[in-house]
Structure 1
């Protein structure tokens, strides 16, 4: 099983999710750690190669967990946020891109 590594404020952002969304995010991340695919996800190639987004919907709204699992040692959680509109905000995309670029530098890729 791969370890989870949170980048920037991703862990505190995830902890700010409502209880049900937080539990669902944890369950889905556990699946990813075990090498399985989350129940509801989509690729995010605009952020980086191998980046995916877990999509969570509950009565409190829509929540997203952006991660990359292509590296052998860990699942890297880049960004967690509540989605307020149909389209993902450019600020959320840019933050995830920056964290992905920082991760790539850190890993020497």
Structure 2
């Protein structure tokens, strides 16, 4: 069963700002998640919350899509950004945490 896809905050606009090749890859990976599969390159983001994952895209730079799919209501894209350093910036983690909290408050 395919889950609906929801974008929190500016995540959809941020996704649209990616280069077309990276955006296509992000769409492919999110489609896998919607269908119940894991992305091809990902890592759990336990510091954001239970069930949060980061999709890693290596096309024309480094791009990340942080999402949570553990809720039956759908897949929630929390944050989309370009990764410029080896460690994920604290501001990006905090933004994803805040958006995760918004979802949990509605449940």
SS in 2 for 1:52: strand
RMSD between superposed Cα atoms in Å: 0.5
Distance in 1 separating the partners of 2:7 and 2:88 = 20
Q: For structure 2, list consecutive stretches of 5 or more residues without a partner in the other structure.
A: none
Spell out structure 1 runs of 4+ moving beyond 3 A: none
Q: For structure 1, list consecutive stretches of 5 or more residues without a partner in the other structure.
A: none
Matched residues, number? 106
Aligned match of 2:42: 41
Using the size of structure 1 for normalisation, the TM-score is 0.96
- Residues 16-55 of structure 1 show CA distances to partners (whole Å, capped at 9, x for unaligned) of 0000000000000000000011000000000000000000
- More strand, by proportion: 1
Using the size of structure 2 for normalisation, the TM-score is 0.98
